[in-house]
Amino acid sequence: MELFELADRWLHFGAGVLWIGLLYFFNWINSAFAPTMDAETKRKVIPELVPRVLYWFRWGAAVTWITGVVLLFVVYYHGYDGANLFDGQHAAPAFADWGPAFLGIIVGFLVYDVLFKVLAKQHSVGVILWGVLAVAFAWFLNEQQEFSDRATYIHVAALFGTAMAANVWMRIWPAQRRIVTAIKNGDAPDAADAAMAGTRSKHNTYMSISLLLFMVGVGQPAMFTWDVVPTTAGVLVLSFVICKALYAKAKTVPGF
């Protein structure tokens, strides 16, 4: 079991590097490069480049999510004393212990998806509400389910990771496939597809910054200096500021 967990962590980490790396390529490199191409260049380059990138992008997302779910079960939901899910010794976790958290992770994408469809014209309000829901999820796990701080942070990361992976497969990939087909045929892509794919990709980029800290931070004592709820809120705000600065920098990087 220890070797299995190690192998799964390795695969989870490797697939995550692939996925998030390509996410940043799309948002901070390709987003600045694509507008510099004329129509004929786009017709030649995009059908050759983008499908290749999207292949590794979507499968990286799928493998990252699947191996992450496996880790949740191996590390937190399966155990003799529940020491990882709770603080200290505890009875072996039952569904009543971890079921609401896992269901919350899955349902989270549906809530997120509906939220940004309903508030499509009030995007900033949607972003704030999604952040509030993530903090509320952390409070519920830590205070009501009595999860350990480490388990709480990992589950908030899983909430974001699930929403991100679902975005890739259910929103970004289908839209990009239609966009690439249109460009290949010499037609103008549907503006709604381009807007939705771009928005969801940006959401994934913003969420990824927090997700990465929640994942790696659980091994650092500094992550446990303050209570979970203010720390979660602070991470989200700081991640937003960092990501916004990186988007601004991406626009100024020149070509040769």
pLDDT tens for 133-146 read 999 999 999 999 99
pLDDT in the model for residue 124:
93
- Neighbouring residues of 37: CB distance < 8 A, sequence distance ≥ 6: 45, 46
CA distance 154 to 212: 10
Residue 14, C-beta contacts closer than 8 angstroms, at least 6 positions apart: none
Ranges of each domain in the chain: 2-86+94-252
User: Between the CA of residue 243 and those of 19, 120, 147, 155, 203, what are the distances in Å?
Assistant: 17, 21, 29, 22, 10
Residue found under tokens 């601004």: 248
- Give the pLDDT confidence of 61-106 residue by residue, as tens digits: 999 999 999 999 999 998 655 678 998 767 788 899 999 999 999 9
Using the 8-state DSSP alphabet, how is residue 222 labeled?
G
Percent of the chain at pLDDT above 70? Answer: 98
Is 129 a residue whose pLDDT tops 70? yes
Only one residue has tokens 């799928």, namely: 62
Half-sphere exposure for 172 (CA within 13 Å, toward CB):
27
